Chain A
Amino acid sequence: MSNVAIRVEGLGKQYRIGAQQARYKRFSETMMDLLASPVRRLRQLGQPPPPEETIWALRDVSFEVGQGEVLGIIGRNGAGKSTLLKILSRITEPTEGYAELDGRVGSLLEVGTGFHPELTGRENIFLNGAILGMSKTEIDRNFDEIVAFAEVEQFIDTPVKRYSSGMFVRLAFAVAAHLETEILLVDEVLAVGDAAFQKKCLGKMGDVAQAGRTVLFVSHNMSAIARLCQDAIWLDAGKVRARGEVTEVIQNYLSEGVKEEASAEFVPKSNRAAQILSIELLTPDGTLATTHLANLPVRIRVRYRLSERISAYRVGLRIRLADGLDVMTTASSDVEGDLWTDDPGVYSATVEIPGLLLAPGQYFVTVFLGQPGVKVHDRHENVLAFRIEGRTKSLVERELGLIATPLHWEASRFAVEHSE
């Protein structure tokens, strides 16, 4: 596995900022510019634009990917992930730097590119396959498999404009998934179809990863990244922030921006009827803490102000996993079903998440205050992060699941076996 399949050296891509709003120019504008100041314009032609009008979407990016390696690329929106894939798939040129790819390159930046609504499913398979770079024989060979994977057998000769949106994306993904190139560049294409199909897609990508092909995989779905990739790169503002073992990079990425702090305060805004002032994570004895023992409860205290009398409101929390999965939502109306009604003032509400409920791992807290069905008055997403640590052996690993409640087992002899 020491062979390098992808080598990227000092790759950079510069965009004009102006190009973001008015993407193409009118010829008249260029002509007017030219007439207005011909000398300046002509001197500028062919020269790099002034730096204040440009932005580096990617800069100084260097890395290598070994043959057969599956590398995840994570980062916020606008961090340069898609730009990187576009450069590597040769859709756009880098401004500087250099990349070398060893093997046939297939890229899936979108599913269903080039699908034509008037054409039938069969026709679109061939068209889309050709667009993705498959030869006709290759498509012929995989045709039945594609149709079966997409589950559209009966409709294969129907124009795709009559397909449901689910059928459409299934077919589109199925074609794309059968690209047989040595290198595959994949950008967030798994978020298609219903949950069952997404699972199937993930399985298919898993097969691809197993097949010894080199894959660069961009996704916001951290659990998919963690499942498919061994290593990951974290892109931040166009630069490689970290590269390493996948779970470690994901942890670092996610815990950034969300302070792992035991409390958060919010700047009050005027003219709001109700707003959250602060949130605190406490141990049972009342001290602030970000790390909590699995067998002890976590107490969360929310302070809020009502500027006027609010009727039928509730305060709630959502506990979320690092990869975005919601573990639980709890609200002050949970148990009795009662909503609160209160006069103006500053209030404090506390909830206790019992011990031996959440499995060890990192959790993110979202807090909200609102009148159900009427209005959300205040809401703060992922404001705090805390960690549950297990001390007993059965609570050490996250693979055990999300819930750590010990359950009681019983065994009784059902039949007697004679071993002689």
Chain B
Amino acid sequence: MPKTFIRPSRGWVSLRLRDVWAYRELVLFLTWRDISVRYKQTMLGASWAVLQPFFSMVVFSIFFGRLAAVPSDDLPYPLFSYAGLLPWQYFATAMANSSESLIGSEKLITKVYFPRLVIPVAAVLPAAVDFAIAFVVLLGMMAFYGVAPTVNVVWLPLFLLLAVATALGVGLWLSAWNVQYRDFRYVIPFLTQFWLFASPVAYPSSIVPEGLRALYGINPMVGVIEGFRWALLGSGTAPGPVTAVSTLVALALLVSGAFVFRRMEKSFADVI
């Protein structure tokens, strides 16, 4: 029979990923709950998943593509920006949901035990449904502009995984801090906006001077978005040092976030 030992913990504690794994069904149930609740009582339902990036694309195309004549790696600007907006939109939504997830689950945290990591993890997944729906539209646009995917498309899931890792990494940090200090709730919209302009969504990373690209890659979304366009549309440059830097930063965010989360976890039920 399984034994449970309960004693006060001090300082840094192990992640206990095995416990999280044991509760994988709960992760799925929470994800499924968020997805099915998401579109109930909305008039336009799933089309919201497309409307948001689509209208952003239209605005970007008019102001950046046409008026400011921002380069687009030889792709039609609408296709270029939409392909950037998709992973970005996923990331921004997943990060915000994950960061807010703990304070939105106060009841669960004060009344039931399960590994707390489950909550921010489950919160990054539902946005993937929106992504999938919007992705279908992207395929339509590719057909419209006559852009065929390259063989590199097999790498696409890896770049998506990188986006998940980044969103979760930030989500772990912010959700834990959010429990202690509600100020972090106001940080999120600001951070999202700031981050959008620091990511190659509306412009290609080729406008960044060659020597600074690796530095630019410290923003993991640079690796994600550039990789996404490269794998699907064959644009830009093949993954290189920039991707490596992005991946390392994303992993560092994720691992440090998980440890910080676990360290702060013990006071969640008392403070929230």
Contact = CB atoms under 8 A, between A and B. Distances in A.
A86 interface: yes
A24 B181 contact: yes
Contact of A92 (B1, B2, B180, B269): B269
Interface stretch (B5-13, B57-65, B146-154): B5-13
Contacts, number: 119
B40 interface: yes
B75 to A, nearest CB: 41
B114 A100 contact: no
B33 A116 contact: yes
A-B residue pairs, 6 tightest by C-beta: A27-B181, A27-B183, A99-B6, A130-B29, A101-B4, A92-B269
Given A116-B37, A131-B26, A95 B8 contact: yes
Interface size class of B (residues with CB under 8 A): 35 or more
B36 A119 contact: yes
B99 to A, nearest CB: 14
Contacts of B112: 89, 91, 107, 109, 113-114, 131-133
Interface string A87-115: 11111111111111111110101100110
A136 B271 contact: no
A118 B35 CA distance: 12
B74 interface: no
A135 interface: yes
Interface stretch (B47-55, B103-111, B191-199): B103-111
A347 interface: no
A135 B179 CA distance: 29
A132 B182 CA distance: 28
Contacts of A100: 3-6
Interface of A: 15, 19, 23-28, 30, 86-105, 107, 109-110, 113-114, 116, 118-119, 123, 126-127, 130-133, 135-136, 182
A123 B36 contact: yes
B272 interface: yes
Interface string B95-121: 000000000000111111110000000
A25 B180 contact: yes
Interface of B: 1-9, 23, 25-26, 29-30, 33, 36-37, 40-41, 107-114, 179-184, 266, 269-272
A86 B266 CA distance: 12
Contact of A91 (B3, B7, B110, B180): B110
Nearest to A132: B112
Contacts of A136: 25
Contact of A86 (B7, B29, B36, B269): B269
Given A92-B266, A103-B3, 5 more contacts: A27-B184, A91-B111, A119-B33, A127-B29, A136-B25
A91 B37 contact: no
B183 to A, nearest CB: 4
A21 to B, nearest CB: 13
Nearest to A159: B40
A15 B2 CA distance: 30
Contact of B182 (A24, A101, A131): A24
A103 B2 contact: yes
Contact of B3 (A88, A102, A110): A102
26 contacts: A19-B271, A23-B271, A24-B182, A25-B180, A27-B181, A27-B183, A27-B184, A86-B110, A91-B111, A93-B8, A98-B6, A98-B7, A99-B6, A100-B3, A100-B4, A100-B6, A104-B1, A107-B113, A109-B112, A110-B107, A116-B33, A118-B36, A119-B37, A130-B30, A131-B112, A131-B114
Contacts of A103: 1-3
A136 B179 CA distance: 30
Nearest to A95: B8
Nearest to B6: A99
Given A93-B8, A118-B41, A135-B25, A113 B270 contact: no
B115 to A, nearest CB: 10
Contacts of B183: 26-28
A91 B109 contact: yes
A15 B107 CA distance: 19
A146 to B, nearest CB: 16
Q: Output the residue of B107, B110, B179, B270 with the most chain A CB within 10 A.
A: B270
